[in-house]
Amino acid sequence: MRLLRIVPDDTKFKFIRFRRYSYPFSAAYSILTLVLFLTVGLNFGIDFRGGTLIEMQARDGRADIAQVRQSANALGFGEVEVQEFGGAGDISLRFALQPGGEAAQQTVVTKARETFAQAHDFRRVETVGPRVSGELVQAGTLGIVLAIVGVLIYLWFRFEVQLAIGSILGTMHDIVLTLGFFLITQLEFNLTSIAAILTIVGYSLNETVVVFDRTRELLRRYKTMPIADLLDLSVNSTLSRTAMTSTTTILSLLALVFFGGTAIEGFALVMLFGVVVCTYSAMFVSTPVLLYLDVRAGRLDHAEPDALPAAAKAKA
């Protein structure tokens, strides 16, 4: 029985030449991310800002947003963010952090129930006080930093210096582009978002290690092949595996986006973007970086050379 091949085994696509387009695109995206971070900022969720989140559904299936917003603002807790989400009649209310500690936040919930319970069913209520939100910010930031540092240390010892530098640049590139996704879409940044970022870091590491392992193997085998041709060969030889992994992951994430519900939709959207970015990065960003590094230096030169492949001999 013939096995399924998404990508033909003899693919000879010239990935490296597309660096002329991928590098300006990534640079422009990174600059946009920095500008948005300094001007707009992340849309921090209730986990980090503190306050009260209430999700409710109109019993008649029709949400009167204007009326709900007017009633919520009349409660005296400041400007309330009222939005529709999910299906018909679903409404979310976000109350800012109130002075007075946990008791003040509970007062918000009590008055909201008194006001809206008659016409709405309460589906979700989250209350986060100032102390808890501050601790979550510190713990989340520390978790991301330690995870990234651990990955970078692993990459430094996993590869030779030149390959490690390419891997590190690729991983940092994927993190920056993912943050840009949060800034552009203003998707809520909460504890689930941190889990998504850490998962994307792991996926980026996996994609980079697979390609660079093949690059190192080919560097030992074909010592006189031009670097650009060798890098194209390393990406093409792992392309079938990359396509299979990315396709199956994307299909799973699409199912979560459409059928997973609102609680996991944000995580699935970020992961979907991250899988695309990590795949793009491994082929068009981190691998072409090796063109500008002396990847034949160090212990790679001590390996036994092998004969050039037929295609390379034909070019010679």
Q: Is residue 38 part of a domain?
A: yes
3-state helix/strand/coil string of the chain: CCCCCCCCCCCCCCCHHHHHHHHHHHHHHHHHHHHHHHHCCCCECHHHHCEEEEEEEECCCCCCHHHHHHHHHCCCCCCCEEEECCCCCEEEEEECCCCCHHHHHHHHHHHHHHHHCCCEEEEEEEEECHHHHHHHHHHHHHHHHHHHHHHHHHHHHHCCHHHHHHHHHHHHHHHHHHHHHHHHHCCCECHHHHHHHHHHHHHHHHHHHHHHHHHHHHHHHCCCCCHHHHHHHHHHHCHHHHHHHHHHHHHHHHHHHHHCCHHHHHHHHHHHHHHHHHHHHHHHHHHHHHHHCCCCCHHHHHCCCCCCCHHHHHHC
Q: In whole numbers, what is the pLDDT of the chain averaged over residues?
A: 82
Final residue belonging to a domain, choices 80, 109, 128:
128
On whether both 74 and 180 belong to a single domain, the answer is no
On whether both 197 and 303 belong to a single domain, the answer is yes
Please state the separation of Cα 277 from the chain's center in Å: 8
Residue 8, pLDDT score? 65
pLDDT class of 32 with cuts at 50, 70, 90: very high
Q: Is residue 233 part of a domain?
A: yes
pLDDT class of 305 with cuts at 50, 70, 90: very low
Residue 306, pLDDT score? 47
pLDDT class of 314 with cuts at 50, 70, 90: very low
Residue 102 belongs to domain with CATH number? 3.30.70.3400
Which is higher by pLDDT, 33 or 265?
Answer: 33
In percent, the amount of the chain with pLDDT more than 70 equals: 87
Residue 20 belongs to domain with CATH number? 1.20.1640.10
Residue 180, pLDDT score? 95
pLDDT digits (tens, 9 = 90+) for 35-77: 999 999 888 877 777 788 888 888 887 878 888 888 888 888 8
Final residue belonging to a domain, choices 128, 154, 178:
128
On whether both 84 and 212 belong to a single domain, the answer is no
Structural domain harbouring 78 = 51-128
pLDDT digits (tens, 9 = 90+) for 159-209: 778 888 888 889 899 999 999 999 999 888 888 888 899 899 889 888 888
On whether both 258 and 223 belong to a single domain, the answer is yes
Report whether pLDDT(126) > 60.
Answer: yes
pLDDT class of 300 with cuts at 50, 70, 90: very low
Distances (CA, A) of 249 to 27, 182, 204, 209, 245: 27, 21, 13, 18, 6
pLDDT class of 316 with cuts at 50, 70, 90: very low
Q: Is residue 291 part of a domain?
A: yes
On whether both 105 and 224 belong to a single domain, the answer is no
Identify the sign of the CA torsion 193, 194, 199, 205: positive
In percent, the amount of the chain with pLDDT more than 90 equals: 18
On whether both 108 and 167 belong to a single domain, the answer is no
Total number of domains constituting the chain: 2
On whether both 119 and 161 belong to a single domain, the answer is no
On whether both 227 and 296 belong to a single domain, the answer is yes
Final residue belonging to a domain, choices 97, 128, 159:
128
Residue 303, pLDDT score? 41
On whether both 240 and 300 belong to a single domain, the answer is yes
pLDDT digits (tens, 9 = 90+) for 218-237: 888 888 888 888 898 989 88
Q: Is residue 11 part of a domain?
A: no
Q: Is residue 108 part of a domain?
A: yes
On whether both 263 and 207 belong to a single domain, the answer is yes
On whether both 121 and 145 belong to a single domain, the answer is no
Which is higher by pLDDT, 310 or 123?
Answer: 123
Q: Is residue 316 part of a domain?
A: no
Residue 3, pLDDT score? 58
On whether both 37 and 146 belong to a single domain, the answer is yes
Q: Is residue 7 part of a domain?
A: no
Residue 312, pLDDT score? 44
pLDDT class of 105 with cuts at 50, 70, 90: confident
Report whether pLDDT(311) > 90.
Answer: no
Q: Is residue 9 part of a domain?
A: no
